Structure 1
Amino acid sequence: MKSVIRDVSPLRLLATLLLGLTLATSAVADEATPTATATPPTTSEASSDATAAPAEQAEIAPAPPETALEEAEMSEVLAGHDLSPWGMYQSADVVVKSVMIGLLLASVLTWTIWLAKSIELFVAKRRLRREMPILKAARTLKDAGNSMDGEACISHRLVQDALEEVKLTGSVREADGLKERVSFRLERMVAASGRQMSQGTGMLATIGSTAPFVGLFGTVWGIMNSFIGIAKSQTTNLAVVAPGIAEALLATALGLVAAIPAVIIYNVFARSITGYKAQVADASAQVLLLVSRDLDHLPTERQAPHMVKVG
């Protein structure tokens, strides 16, 4: 009996092991392919899913933006306008055109004055620098007058003016009175030369101070026309008002183009004319020095007082 039990127990163990391996294999297979047992969807469900997918995609896809439409409209409107300076001038209002023409003429006048005054100052300063050594080398006022060539020279006019005053004085040789009169006449000559050289620079100051405001007037007028265009078209689209605003701003730009060079040139001329007047004043002082030297070399002719005998 014991031997039978010993023979049967290994068989049971082997059978148990085989059964366990079989169950384990089936469990692993079920875990590896869980969807294989799922039932396929019916045709009605598939058709409903197919119709729902485009609807969801339509909801997810964004609508065409309004900014893209506005940009397209703006590009179409701007394509019909020439936004170059000449094109903006041609499409501008009559008032804005008048402002632009006036500012362009002011700019041309500014550069004309600059060219003319630059040449005039250059020639006058060079002539003065050339004549100052002649005045310093002259021993008498008459020698200085004979050494000068040309009546257009300021130094020649100073010497001739001093000689004229000496002649008008005649035989009266009072040094103090003659020097005072000659000095007065020379001062007037220096002031007159400064005024003559400053002619035309006042126009530069006027252009520099008024041109920006004239351009601003043209800008305001153009923007008013743009707002009127908005009211007539009943739209706030920027493409409608952009050309008008560009034309208006062109007037301001022309005003600045005319004003900025005018102010700079005016300041440059003011300093240059001040230096020129200083050179003329030096020449005047040299002429007065020659007058004083001539008076020192002349014999003093003073009349003796009349003696009246009383009683």
Structure 2
Amino acid sequence: MIALLPELSVNFVASAPVSLDPLRLFLDADIVVKIVMAGLLLASVWSWAIIVSFITRMGRLKHASRQFEDKFWDAADVDRFMSERRSKATPSARVADMAVKEWRRSMSSESGAVGSRDPQAMRERIGIAMNSQVAVEADALADRLNFLATTGSVAPFVGLFGTVWGIMNSFFQIGIQENSSLAVVAPGISEALFATAIGLFAAIPAVIAYNRFSHEVNRFEARLGRFADAVHASLTRQLERR
């Protein structure tokens, strides 16, 4: 029997895992830790879906807005140009459309209100209409970015909750088995720490993407604001000629 001990020891070492198996850690975890891990993985998948969608959308909007603005400034008659363009699919087009609509309402002969032809009042109304539309466009772009901010700030704490729960369960197993060896404690602690790792895996890309995309939204909003100012100046020059 003594002679068999070295052979058993060799077999045990040979069958021991040589690397971490994330799937095995998930399957062996406590039900609470499993729920935490699954929730964090879903949040990570949704975050990446938002990231890919935002990158694609911003690239498309920038290209379309640039094309619209070039055609807009090449048009000899802005009012006619906007009337002929039925599609208002880009933010720049919607900002310009708000300006032209307010221009038409202000210049309409059907408006008999006192001061409706006041040039200063017309300038202010056109400017307010365009600034409001710029804000609407920026809000629409930043709408789903709140999820990235929430994931980036909450995911580490959710993962920490799973870790704390897993460690508590490990200590509970120590009390039941009355054995404090690493063979009893290590599996539970590994599963618990894996929850924190998943939390960081979900949070880090979300935080980086949120900061980057917020900067992109601010830049695009500033670009729309400059375009709105230029449209406003163009329309007010036409007011002065009337």
- Offset at 1:139? 4.2
Map of 1:177 onto structure 2 = 121
Kept in 1, the 8 Å contact 2:68–2:93? The answer is no
Mapped partners of 1:145, 1:184: distance in 2: 19
Q: Deviations over 1:155-185 (max 9, x none)?
A: 3222322222222223443211100000000
Unaligned stretches of 5+ in structure 1? 1-71, 299-311
Mapped partners of 1:87, 1:216: distance in 2: 20
Map of 1:47 onto structure 2 = none
Partner of residue 277 from structure 1, selected from 210, 218, 221: 221
Higher alpha-carbon Rg = 1
Kept in 2, the 8 Å contact 1:141–1:159? The answer is no
Q: Deviations over 1:112-166 (max 9, x none)?
A: 0001111111111111222222333334431442575622122322232222222
Q: Deviations over 1:87-117 (max 9, x none)?
A: 1111111000000000000100110000111
Amino acid across the alignment from 2:240: D
For structure 1, which segment, 95-104 or 142-151, has the greater mean C-alpha deviation from structure 2 after superposition?
142-151
Map of 1:213 onto structure 2 = 157
Partner of residue 157 from structure 1, selected from 77, 94, 117: 94
1:58-97 mapped onto 2 (5 Å cutoff): 79=16, 83-97=20-34
Amino acid across the alignment from 1:128: S
Matched, 1:227 2:171: yes
TM-score normalised by L of structure 2: 0.85
Map of 1:287 onto structure 2 = 231
Amino acid across the alignment from 2:153: S
Q: Deviations over 1:165-210 (max 9, x none)?
A: 2222234432111000000000000000000001100000000000
Secondary structure (helix, strand or coil) at the match of 2:150 reads helix
Amino acid across the alignment from 1:199: D
For structure 1, which segment, 229-238 or 261-270, has the greater mean C-alpha deviation from structure 2 after superposition?
229-238
Matched, 1:166 2:110: no
For structure 1, which segment, 282-291 or 180-189, has the greater mean C-alpha deviation from structure 2 after superposition?
282-291
For structure 1, which segment, 134-143 or 174-183, has the greater mean C-alpha deviation from structure 2 after superposition?
134-143
Map of 2:6 onto structure 1 = none
Map of 1:257 onto structure 2 = 201
Mapped partners of 1:283, 1:143: distance in 2: 19
Map of 2:44 onto structure 1 = 107
1:12-23 mapped onto 2 (5 Å cutoff): none
Paired positions, count? 225
Q: Deviations over 1:242-299 (max 9, x none)?
A: 111101110000000000000000011001111111121122112212211221222x
Mapped partners of 1:282, 1:208: distance in 2: 32
Matched, 1:117 2:54: yes
Unaligned stretches of 5+ in structure 2? 1-8, 110-115
For structure 1, which segment, 277-286 or 104-113, has the greater mean C-alpha deviation from structure 2 after superposition?
277-286
Partner of residue 71 from structure 2, selected from 117, 127, 134: 134
1:30-69 mapped onto 2 (5 Å cutoff): none
